[in-house]
Amino acid sequence: MKIVVIQGPNLNMLGIREQHVYGPMKLEQIHAQMKEFATQNNIEIEFFQSNLEGEIVDKLQECYGDAQGIILNAAAYTHTSIAIRDAISAISIPTIEVHISNIHRREEFRKTNMIAPVCTSSIVGFGPFGYHLAMMGMLQIMQEIQAVQASQEAQQQAPQA
């Protein structure tokens, strides 16, 4: 199983920018914790960060046929990007949206969420721990998908009455 973690604009500045909102943890530290969880659970994990909308769309499209799950913090593009929304919808890969802050308690413009309706679920406001919750959630989703597939295969192989 492979999970791709896609980080949007300005997340490369975590630990520096607005610590009162995002905390002191750097993106590299968050990724190290996620990698540890992935290793413990036999999950392949890949990390990608870009400040450019088109590169995020390209990365989402590259996941098709390559990854079984996506954890995405589209950051500011959450509120503006129909292109990212359409890419998530097009690839039909379970996608968990993560936001470090609670976007629903912030500025009015952050309450518009273009991508949530096409994501499997959203985790907001738990700080960096939200990424750990997303990893746990994705593991659960993957196990459920595998169980359904195994059941379907068993039904196909069972003798017809």
Report the catalytic residues: 22, 99
- Closest alpha carbon to 3 in 105, 141, 126, 160: 141
Measured in degrees and rounded to the nearest 5, phi and psi for residue 155 equal: -65, -35
